[in-house]
Structure formats: C-alpha cells, structure tokens
Amino acid sequence: MLPASSPRASVAGPFEPVVARAVLSRAGGIGLALLAASCMRGEVEKKVAFDGKDHAAWIAKGTATIEGEGFLRRPNGSLARCSGGIVYLVPATAYFREWVEVYRSGARIANARDLNEGHAKAIRKTQCDMLGRFLFPELPGGKWIIVTRVTFDGPGWNDDSTLVTEIETKQGEIAKAILSNPNRI
C-alpha cells in the first residue's frame, strides 16, 4: 500500500476522466478513472466553476486518515480487487460532485484537460496494494469523494467498473471506506 506521500502517489495530479483505454494511455495521469465509453452521451460544459478559495481547507494537512478497500464481488463469490490501481480523493464540493454526476449519466466534460490545471492541487491520489487496500493519511476534516477502478478479465466473467463513494473525515480519527459492487457508476 502506498501512502499519499510516496514517490509513486502524489498529492496533486490531473483530474482527467478516462473515456476509453486509448485515452488512458495517452493521458499520462488518468485523474478520476471514470470510464463511460460504453454509454457515451457526448460532451457537456461544466456549470460549476472551480474556486481555489472554496477548496483551500481540503488542500491543507490534517490529522484525519482514510483507510479503504476497493473490490468487486464476482458471480462465483470470489473478489476482483483494485490491486495496483490508482485511487483518487477529491473534496465533496459542488465542483467535483458535478463532475461525477456527468460521468454517471454517461456523458463527459468538455475541455476536461484544460480544467485540470486549476484544480490539480485539490486532488490526492494513492495506489491500492495487492489486496485492494489503500490509505490517505494527513487529511483535514471534511467530506470527500473517493474513486477507483476495478478491472477483471478472466474465464466466465469480465468487468471494468468505476467505483465511487463519499466519506467524511474528522481530525484525529480514521474513517473506513469500502468501494464495491453497490458503488459502481
């Protein structure tokens, strides 16, 4: 499990929803891994603008922690985990909630790459360990959105799902998050 401070997990990164595997490989940093290629409904303009002042509280360090796990329960009962996958943590503000809802609808944000520079500091990311667990330490208290992807390609079952949930942190406490089948978008 990589802590958010490790060299392979950065505190700031792009927030580029992925609409196809080809885009994922070209984008470099994949941002919120929101795969909507199968039901793409076109592009929509973002209605809520990013305001750095509104997000400043989420950028600061704190004493809260999120411990979590990402997996899908397969039809045979075994688990497909987010092992090695990136987990994104963004403030649960109107700006980022709109982003998630657009992708949940099957559309995508127009000029998403251009928007990344403004909000990159508000995004934290880490990586799932081999068991699908992840950790976000040194967080301020507040409400957050967690996003990851679980991909499985094997005999009898194939899936590539984006999982999303909201969680609240409190200073000095550990919040636990499970992203699983009910969290698919």
DSSP class per residue in 82-108:
-TT-EEEEEE-SHHHHHHHHHHHTT-E
| Radius of gyration of the chain from its Cα atoms, rounded to whole angstroms | 16
Give pTM, 2 decimals. 0.76
User: Residue 4: inside a domain, yes or no?
Assistant: no
User: Residue 9: inside a domain, yes or no?
Assistant: no
User: Residue 116: inside a domain, yes or no?
Assistant: yes
pLDDT for the residue 147: 94
Distance CA 168, CA 91 (A): 10
DSSP 2: B
User: Residue 15: inside a domain, yes or no?
Assistant: no
User: Residue 84: inside a domain, yes or no?
Assistant: yes
The alpha carbon of residue 41 and the mean position of all alpha carbons in its chain are separated, in whole angstroms, by 21
Structure tokens at 68: 């979590």
User: Residue 174: inside a domain, yes or no?
Assistant: yes
Closest CA to 85 of 123, 132, 120, 122: 132
Strand positions, DSSP E, the chain: 43-44, 64-73, 79-81, 86-91, 108-109, 124-127, 133-139, 142-154, 157-169, 174-179
Neighbours of 178 (CB within 10 A): 15
Domain count, the chain: 1
pLDDT for the residue 74: 84
User: Residue 6: inside a domain, yes or no?
Assistant: no
Element (H, E) at 7: none
User: Residue 43: inside a domain, yes or no?
Assistant: no
**pLDDT in 10s for each residue of the chain, 185 residues:** 444 433 333 333 334 333 333 233 333 333 334 433 334 468 888 888 888 888 888 988 999 999 999 999 888 888 889 999 999 999 999 999 998 898 888 888 887 777 777 788 899 999 999 999 999 999 999 999 999 998 887 776 777 889 999 999 999 999 999 999 888 88
Domain CATH code at residue 117: 2.60.40.10
pLDDT for the residue 44: 86
Residue 80: which domain range?
A: 21-37+48-183
pLDDT for the residue 109: 84
